[in-house]
């Protein structure tokens, strides 16, 4: 169960829009598209060239894994390319709620 606020998460996610999109089939950003990311296998979107660490991680993006990832991606997968961290637990919950809501559009 996600306790976050999707509307607040949308505002926090503005920092990420240069790298990621949550719109279906929108590509061309520096990072992978995050449409329907919750529940998907890490490193599996065909349009993005992931690091080997992420491709081979076996991670499924559950709410819990996304929270760990957003808190400190390098702690979860040291050889991954993402270095941005979201220190606030509230912001992480809100962003995850936003990702879930965006995946339902």
pLDDT in the model for residue 64: 96
Reported residue count of the chain is 105
Alpha-carbon distance values, 7 to 2, 15, 50, 80, 87 (Å): 13, 14, 29, 29, 19
Complete domains list, the chain, with CATH = 6-102 (1.10.760.10)
pLDDT in the model for residue 104: 87
pLDDT in the model for residue 85: 94
The structure's pTM equals 0.91
**pLDDT per position in the chain (105 positions), as tens?**
568 999 999 999 999 988 999 998 877 668 899 999 999 999 998 788 899 999 999 999 999 999 999 999 999 999 888 889 999 999 999 999 999 999 987
């Amino acid at each position: 169960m996600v306790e976050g606020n999707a509307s607040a998460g949308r505002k926090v996610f503005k920092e990420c829009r240069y790298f990621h999109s949550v719109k279906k089939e929108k590509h061309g950003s520096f990072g992978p598209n995050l449409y329907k990311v919750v529940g998907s296998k890490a490193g599996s979107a065909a349009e993005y060239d992931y690091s080997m660490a992420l491709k081979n991680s076996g991670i499924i993006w559950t709410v819990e894994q996304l929270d760990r990832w957003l808190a400190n991606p390098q702690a979860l997968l040291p050889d991954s390319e993402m270095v941005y961290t979201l220190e606030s637990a509230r912001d992480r919950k809100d962003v995850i709620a936003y990702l879930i809501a965006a995946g339902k559009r």
